[in-house]
Amino acid sequence: MEAYLDLVMSVAINLKYSDWQTPFPAVQYSNILSIVLLVLIVLLSLIILVKYFRHRKTWTEPEFQMKFNTLLEG
Q: What is the pLDDT of residues 6-48, one digit of tens each?
A: 999 999 999 999 888 999 999 999 999 999 999 999 999 999 8
Asked if residue 36 lies in contact with residue 13, where contact means CB atoms within 8 angstroms, the answer is no
Task: Report in angstroms the alpha-carbon separations of 64 from 38, 59, 74.
Answer: 29, 6, 16
Domain count, the chain: 1
Q: What is the pTM of this model?
A: 0.70
Structural domain boundaries, residue 8: 2-72
φ, ψ (nearest 5 deg) of residue 51: -60, -45
Query: What is the chain's alpha carbon radius of gyration, rounded to the nearest angstrom?
Result: 18
Q: Return the pLDDT at 59.
A: 72
Residue 26, classified by CB atoms within 10 Å of its CB into exposed (0-12), middle (13-18) or buried (19+), is exposed
